[in-house]
């Protein structure tokens, strides 16, 4: 696994000078819970990055519930946190890797290759009796150079085309009930983008809560061609990111994120909505 590191891997390297640990814990609907959890205890040296304050820009008419942050603003935030362009960045959360994967995707989108997600998460780290602290590290400002990789991002027009013509495989990362339109706890409309197939993001994890190995991930996506153009979405562009990592691990190289996702799709009056079971 080239994007996922074990807790022991991080334990062995956490004090190396070029390693930066980012705590990305966040609970939807409880915007202060992640920071409070960080203040109550975190991996030593970790800086806190907030999904809504740091890893998203403010909500507007389009762009979904967690619009991508402006790259310059994010680079400035990272630099202020002492994260430099040559850092090896390891992100963790306590949400199965969902929020940590958002940071992974953003950094890769900004041209930063050395970024990893820690397997399992903070509770497992704590249960393993690995070190935890309430000390907040001194953040010495650094500089973060960035170089956006536009090929990683799909626009709403790309998605409209894929939905209409099958020019790309559309993957919906939400759970099956939301995909089918049987329930929608967050967004204004229920259903999925017409033509999309459902691969619930949590299925990248095994029953033990750890990331599946490469062979299991290859098996999971076996219906997809390795050369297929693939566009991944979810509700707001966060839980799609573990699927993007999983596809990369399984050897798919033409994978884009539709960052606005379902919450952006339904913000356009003319976009069709489908309901029903997985067609994949």
- Catalytic pick from 4, 10, 234, 238? 234
The burial class, CB within 10 Å (0-12 / 13-18 / 19+), for 2 is exposed
The token pair at 203 is 């299925």
Question: For residues 196 and 163, is the Cβ–Cβ distance under 8 A?
Answer: yes
DSSP-derived letter for residue 186 is S
H or E stretch covering 37: helix 33-40
C-alpha separations of 185 from 20, 57, 88, 182, 223 in Å: 35, 22, 37, 10, 30
> 240-249 vs 98-109: helix axis angle to the nearest 10?
70
Question: For residues 42 and 155, is the Cβ–Cβ distance under 8 A?
Answer: no
Separation CA 84–CA 51 (nearest Å): 20
Question: For residues 47 and 135, is the Cβ–Cβ distance under 8 A?
Answer: no
C-alpha separations of 72 from 43, 78, 125, 143, 269 in Å: 27, 10, 33, 11, 31
Active-site residue 241, yes or no? no
First to last CA, the chain: 26
- Residues marked as catalytic: 234
């Amino acid at each position: 696994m080239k994007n996922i590191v074990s807790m022991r891997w991080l334990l062995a390297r956490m004090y190396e000078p070029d390693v930066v640990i980012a705590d990305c814990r966040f609970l939807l609907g409880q915007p202060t819970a992640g920071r409070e959890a960080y203040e109550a205890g975190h991996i030593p040296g970790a800086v806190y990055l907030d999904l809504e304050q740091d890893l998203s820009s403010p909500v507007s008419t389009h762009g979904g519930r967690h619009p991508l942050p402006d790259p310059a603003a994010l680079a400035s935030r990272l630099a202020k946190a002492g994260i430099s362009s040559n850092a090896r960045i390891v992100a963790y959360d306590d949400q199965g890797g969902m929020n940590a994967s958002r940071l992974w995707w953003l950094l890769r989108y900004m041209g930063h290759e050395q970024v990893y997600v820690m397997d399992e998460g903070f509770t497992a780290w704590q249960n393993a009796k690995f070190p935890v602290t309430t000390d907040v590290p001194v953040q010495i400002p650094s500089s973060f150079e960035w170089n956006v990789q536009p090929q990683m991002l799909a626009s709403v027009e790309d998605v409209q085309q894929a939905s209409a013509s099958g020019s790309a495989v559309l993957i919906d990362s939400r759970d099956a009930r939301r995909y089918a339109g049987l329930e929608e706890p967050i967004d204004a409309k229920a259903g999925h983008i017409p033509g999309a197939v459902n691969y619930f993001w949590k299925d990248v994890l095994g029953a033990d809560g750890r990331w599946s190995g490469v062979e299991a991930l290859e098996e999971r996506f076996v219906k997809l061609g390795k050369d297929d153009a693939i566009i991944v979405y979810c509700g707001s562009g966060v839980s799609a990111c573990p699927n993007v990592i999983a596809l990369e691990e399984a050897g798919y190289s033409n994978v884009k994120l539709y960052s606005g996702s379902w919450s952006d799709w339904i913000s356009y009056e003319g976009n069709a909505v489908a309901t029903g079971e997985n067609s994949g």
